[in-house]
Amino acid sequence: MPRPRDADRSTPNATPQTSAPPRGARVRRSWQIPLRIVGWLLTLFWAAWWTLSIEANQLFLGWNTRVPAWRFMGADFLHNYLGVRAWLAGQNPYLTDIGDWRGSYGYPPLVLVLYVWAAPLRQEVAMVIWMAVIAIGTTVGGWLAWRNRIALGLTRVPLAFVTGAMLISMPLVFTMERGQGDVICLLMMAATAMLLARPRSLGRDATIGLCMAIATWVKIYPGFAMLGLLALRPPRPFALSVAAALLIGVIPYRATMQSLHVGSQRDRVSFVTEVRDWLTNPGYAPVQLKSYATIGIDSHSLSTYWATFWTRAHADRIARVPGIIGAALVLFPGALWLSARMYRSPNRERLAYPYMLWLSAMGTFWMPVSYDYNLFFLLLAAFVVIEVRESWWAGIVLVATAVWWQPFRLGEWLTADLLMALKLVSLAGIGWSLARRADAVPHDEPAVPVGT
């Protein structure tokens, strides 16, 4: 009989030896329960807050937040609601007063179609339903960000914390108070990211094209995410996105052109037409000095505040440069650098969602008259890619983001200028973290398919 090897022998009272988990893993797990509890508490606070707000038809504690709350809920949703009802009643909402303080309807024809469901309902009922859609859509966006973080192998953050932090954030509180439609763009980008993770087919690529075209017509800034499809290397989805966007605008051509000339869009169009005046008119004066003299505590458009900032710095020549050109010189080089890294990255599919989120957030900084209700794109990107333990810079970015993430007024020290600076730090830092993920994806954790 062969002699047993030492490895085959067993001792009656022996206990199996297991290797202890590394200290970093124990620390990371020790934070899971507290973060999960904080997430549930934030969600409960959000539910109570909005129950009281809906009951009062006004943002509860609105005076103590940075949200410029109206005397009633859903001021921006009301605009779409009245526009749809006028359209279905046989009127041209672009040429008639729809009953809103802005007069005629101010959004593209596609947006009218997206809000048709609300027309048969009472305004209050339709608004509550839309608030629920905003909350659910943001929760879906947070869930996908959480899945992406797992796929990248980064330190796990409880889903309850991601959800609670998004629901109580300044962008979402502002979005729900106004009834804004940016959540449509978020859902279109989420669908695009999941489809990009699937095998290529004409049907999937056409769906991607339709989703990105819809997002771009609802709000212009997702057009930067559409351009980002080129860095993600599937040329057919980008081509189909452009084709779908052209069709959506051309089919109702007359209404599309009317939507560009309504009074409520003049403040935004003027930032584009001023480029011509800057080139040809000796008496040119920057548009933003006429209507936007100070930096707002609830907004973050570099185009809007370009002249304001440089006038304060006594750099009058730079202040006279049109805002959209000045903001482009600041923002676009970083976006091109990140896109080049993404183009060369073998991890493009895993990073498609945070990359599109970041490009959309960057676009909101470039857009004239951009309010903080569209900054939840940047928060979601942060939840995907920020890893505090990898560098001191990531910690600074996290602190900067946390300050403007919360919706409350914390004292006179939290000025509009400081908030603007912190938002720019977040944009740059999250873009830097995204570039690091593009160079090398950690493999500490098993990869999880993004779209499942």
The phi-psi region of residue 103 (left if phi > 0; otherwise alpha if psi is between -120 and 50; otherwise beta) is left
Per residue in 282-340, pLDDT (tens digit) is 777 766 545 555 678 899 999 888 888 888 888 888 888 888 899 999 999 999 999 99
Per-residue model confidence (pLDDT) at position 76: 92
Tokens of residue 125, six digits? 């009922």
Neighbours of 21 (CB within 10 A): 10
Q: How is residue 64 annotated by DSSP? A: G
Q: Residue 143 — very low, low, confident or very high, per pLDDT cuts 50/70/90?
A: very high
Query: Is the per-residue pLDDT at 452 higher than 60?
Result: no
Per-residue model confidence (pLDDT) at position 19: 37
Per-residue model confidence (pLDDT) at position 34: 92
Q: Which residues pair with 65 in a beta bridge?
A: 408
Taking a C-beta distance cutoff of 8 angstroms, is the pair 308, 293 a contact?
Answer: yes
Backbone angles phi, psi at 4, to 5 degrees: -65, 145
Largest separation between any pair of C-alpha atoms in the chain = 105
If you search the block for the tokens 């947006």, which residue do you land on?
111
Taking a C-beta distance cutoff of 8 angstroms, is the pair 247, 295 a contact?
Answer: no
Per residue in 179-193, pLDDT (tens digit) is 999 999 999 999 999
Please state the rounded mean pLDDT for residues 124-139: 96
Q: Which long-range contacts (CB under 8 A, 24 or more apart) does 265-272 make?
A: 265/106, 267/291, 267/368, 267/369, 268/367, 268/368, 268/369, 270/368, 271/303, 271/304, 271/322, 271/323, 271/324, 271/368, 271/369, 272/324, 272/368
Query: SS3 of 107, please?
Result: coil
Q: How is residue 63 annotated by DSSP? A: G
Q: How far is residue 251's CA from residue 231's CA, in Å, rounded to a whole number?
A: 29
Q: How far is residue 125's CA from residue 119's CA, in Å, rounded to a whole number?
A: 11
Q: How far is residue 356's CA from residue 141's CA, in Å, rounded to a whole number?
A: 12
- Indicate the angle between helix axes 75-88 and 170-178, nearest 10 degrees: 40
Tokens of residue 433, six digits? 């973290």
Query: Is the per-residue pLDDT at 7 higher than 60?
Result: no
Per-residue model confidence (pLDDT) at position 22: 41
Give the contacts of 440 (CB within 8 A, at least 6 positions apart): none
Q: How far is residue 223's CA from residue 204's CA, in Å, rounded to a whole number?
A: 19
Taking a C-beta distance cutoff of 8 angstroms, is the pair 222, 185 a contact?
Answer: yes
What is the gyration radius of the CA atoms in the chain, in angstroms? 24
Which residue in 165, 153, 148 sits closest to 357, CA to CA?
148
Query: Is the per-residue pLDDT at 448 higher than 60?
Result: no
Give the contacts of 35 (CB within 8 A, at least 6 positions apart): 157, 158, 160, 161
Per-residue model confidence (pLDDT) at position 217: 95
Which residue in 174, 68, 75, 183 sits closest to 135, CA to CA?
183
Q: How far is residue 188's CA from residue 212's CA, in Å, rounded to a whole number?
A: 6
Taking a C-beta distance cutoff of 8 angstroms, is the pair 319, 295 a contact?
Answer: no
Please state the rounded mean pLDDT for residues 254-278: 76
Range of weakest confidence among 15-19, 215-219, 238-242, 243-247: 15-19
User: DSSP string spanning 285-308?
Assistant: --THHHH--S--TTB--HHHHHHH
Tokens of residue 259, six digits? 């939507």
Tell me the residue type at 228: G
Please state the rounded mean pLDDT for residues 166-185: 95
Range of weakest confidence among 140-154, 252-266, 283-297, 380-394: 283-297
Per-residue model confidence (pLDDT) at position 276: 79
CA–centroid distance for 425 within its chain: 16
Buried b (16+ CB within 10 A) or exposed e, 249-285: beebeebbebbeebebbebbebbeebeebbeeeeeee
Give the contacts of 279 (CB within 8 A, at least 6 positions apart): none
Range of weakest confidence among 212-216, 257-261, 411-415, 439-443: 439-443
Q: Which residues pair with 371 in a beta bridge?
A: 299
Per-residue model confidence (pLDDT) at position 391: 83
Q: Residue 264 — very low, low, confident or very high, per pLDDT cuts 50/70/90?
A: low
User: What is the chain's mean pLDDT, rounded?
Assistant: 86
Per-residue model confidence (pLDDT) at position 266: 65
Per-residue model confidence (pLDDT) at position 20: 40
